[in-house]
Amino acid sequence: MSSQAAPVIEVRDLRMRYGDKDVLTSVEFSIEPGEVVCLLGPNGAGKTTTIEILEGFRERSAGEVTVLGEDPRRASEAWRARTGVVLQSWRDHPRWTPRTLLDQVGGYYAPYATPDRPRPVPTDELLEVVGLDDLADQKIATFSGGQRRRLDVAMGIVGRPELLFLDEPTAGFDPQARREFHHVVHRLADLEHTTILLTTHDLDEAEKLADRVLILAGGRIVADDTAEQLALRAALEVEVKWTRGGERFVHSTADATDFVRRLLTEPGEPVVDLEVRRASLEDAYLDLVQRHEAGQSDEAVRAFREVV
Ligand SMILES: Nc1ncnc2c1ncn2[C@@H]1O[C@H](COP(=O)(O)OP(=O)(O)OP(=O)(O)O)[C@@H](O)[C@H]1O
C-alpha cells in the first residue's frame, strides 16, 4: 500500500437533514486504501444515512464526498462495479437458489473484470468463502436468518469490490457464523486488499476487525482512532480484582502498577486470583456516548483529544 495513494473515501462537511431534523451536521473523515474502518454510534446517529450517501443510494443535503475518485451522486456504472454493498436487509429472491442468484448477479460484473481483479468471483469459491457450499442448490425461501445474511455477504463481494460497505453485517449471526464472517473480512482485507467500511453495534467485533474506529454522535465524528488508542484516551480507570482470605475484592485505579505493588507487599493473607483489566473499546465508547447524551459532548470530545 502506498502512502501516496489518494484516499478511497473523503468526506468534508457532510450534512443531512430530513424535514426539519438535522441528522448529520458536519461529518468529516477519510479512509485510505486497504483500511478496515468501523463506524460506531448509537441508534439513530446517522450511520446508515452516511453509508447510503457514500454508496450513492441517498442524496445528501450538503458537503463534499469523494468515493473511489468520484462523487457517488453522479457515479457511473463502472464505479458501481468497483464497490460492494451489504445492506441491512436485502430483498432476495425466495424461489432462487444461492447458485442461480450468484451466477446471475456475478454475470453483471464480468464486463468490469481487470487483470488485477478478475470479476466475478467464481460462484463455487464464493459459496465456500461464506460457508454456504452445502446449501448451494437449496431454495433461499427455506433459509434461516443467519443463512440469508451469509448470502447477503456473498452478494456484496461477488464483484470482487475494491471498496466494500457492510451495514451491520453480523446482525442475527450465531457466534460461529460471526467468527467465520470475521475470517471472511480478514481474508478480503489481507488477500484482496479490499477497503472496508462497516457499521456494527458489537464493540467486540469492532475491536477485532477495525484498523480504525469512527464514532458518530450528535451529527459529527467525535472520535477517530484505533480501538486501542480510543480505550487509552478515554482515560478510564483500570479495574483490579483479587481474592484474599477467601474474600473477593474489586478496586478501580488510575495507576494499576502502583496499586498492585502495594497490594502484594501488604502484610496479611496472600493475594490470589489477581486480575487487572484495562478499559476496553466498549468502556470507552459507552463513556463517550453517555457523556454526549448528558449534554457534555464538547467536554467528552475534548477529553478524548487531550488525554494521552
Ligand atoms: N428517509 C428518512 N426520512 C426521515 N428520517 C429518516 C429517514 N431515514 C432515517 N431517518 C432518521 O434519521 C436518523 C438517522 O437514521 P439512521 O438509520 O441513519 O441511523 P443509524 O445510526 O443507522 O441507526 P441504527 O443504529 O438504529 O441503525 C434517525 O432519527 C431516523 O429516524
- At residue 291, the pLDDT reads 79
Kindly state whether residue 2 falls inside one of the protein's structural domains. no
Q: Is the beta carbon of 44 within 6 A of some atom in ligand 1? A: yes
Kindly state whether residue 209 falls inside one of the protein's structural domains. yes
Residue nearest to atom 28 of ligand 1 (CA): 44
If one residue of 49, 57, 198 were mutated to test the ligand 1 pocket, choosing by the most ligand atoms within 8 A of its CB, it would be 49
* 293 and 241 together in one domain: yes
Q: Are residues 129 and 155 in contact, defined by beta-carbon separation less than 8 angstroms? A: no
Residue nearest to atom 27 of ligand 1 (CA): 43
- At residue 2, the pLDDT reads 46
* 241 and 165 together in one domain: no
* 59 and 80 together in one domain: yes
* 87 and 138 together in one domain: yes
- At residue 92, the pLDDT reads 62
Residue nearest to atom 1 of ligand 1 (CA): 18
In 3-state terms, what secondary structure has residue 55?
A: helix
* 191 and 264 together in one domain: no
Q: What is the pLDDT along the chain (308 residues), one digit of tens a residue?
A: 445 679 999 999 999 999 999 999 999 999 999 999 999 999 999 999 999 999 999 999 999 999 999 999 998 999 999 999 987 655 667 789 999 999 999 999 999 999 988 999 999 999 998 889 999 999 998 988 888 888 888 999 999 999 999 988 888 788 888 888 898 899 899 988 999 999 998 888 999 999 999 999 989 998 999 988 887 776 667 889 999 999 999 998 888 899 999 999 998 899 999 999 877 788 888 888 887 777 765 555 555 554 43
Kindly state whether residue 42 falls inside one of the protein's structural domains. yes
Q: Is the beta carbon of 113 within 6 A of some atom in ligand 1? A: no
Of 206, 229, 252, the residue at which a domain comes to its end is 229
Q: Is the beta carbon of 58 within 6 A of some atom in ligand 1? A: no
Of 180, 200, 229, the residue at which a domain comes to its end is 229
* 109 and 180 together in one domain: yes
Q: Are residues 141 and 95 in contact, defined by beta-carbon separation less than 8 angstroms? A: yes
- At residue 177, the pLDDT reads 83
pTM value > 0.90: no
Kindly state whether residue 4 falls inside one of the protein's structural domains. no
Of 229, 249, 284, the residue at which a domain comes to its end is 229
Which stretches within 192-225 are classed as H helix? 203-209
Here the CATH number for the domain that contains residue 211 is 3.40.50.300
User: From the CA of 88, how far away is ligand 1's center (Å)?
Assistant: 12
**Distance of alpha carbon 79 from its chain centroid, rounded?**
22
* 136 and 204 together in one domain: yes
Kindly state whether residue 190 falls inside one of the protein's structural domains. yes
- At residue 116, the pLDDT reads 86
Q: Is the beta carbon of 175 within 6 A of some atom in ligand 1? A: no
Structural domains in the chain (count): 2
Nearest C-alpha neighbor of 262 from the set 278, 251, 246: 251
Residue nearest to atom 16 of ligand 1 (CA): 46
Q: Report ipTM (2 d.p.).
A: 0.97
User: From the CA of 89, how far away is ligand 1's center (Å)?
Assistant: 14
Tell me the one-letter amino acid at 70. E
* 213 and 276 together in one domain: no
Q: In this structure, what C-alpha cell is assigned to residue 14?
A: 457532510
- At residue 90, the pLDDT reads 57
If one residue of 14, 16, 18, 167 were mutated to test the ligand 1 pocket, choosing by the most ligand atoms within 8 A of its CB, it would be 18
Kindly state whether residue 204 falls inside one of the protein's structural domains. yes
- At residue 281, the pLDDT reads 83
Instruction: Give the CA count within 13 Å in the CB-facing half-sphere of 63.
Output: 24
* 181 and 53 together in one domain: yes
Q: Is the beta carbon of 18 within 6 A of some atom in ligand 1? A: yes
The domain of 294 spans: 234-306
Kindly state whether residue 266 falls inside one of the protein's structural domains. yes
Nearest C-alpha neighbor of 56 from the set 70, 37, 35: 70
Q: Is the beta carbon of 41 within 6 A of some atom in ligand 1? A: yes
* 85 and 157 together in one domain: yes
**Distance of alpha carbon 135 from its chain centroid, rounded?**
27
* 196 and 257 together in one domain: no
* 50 and 122 together in one domain: yes
Cα separation, 46 vs 58, in Å, equals 12
Kindly state whether residue 54 falls inside one of the protein's structural domains. yes
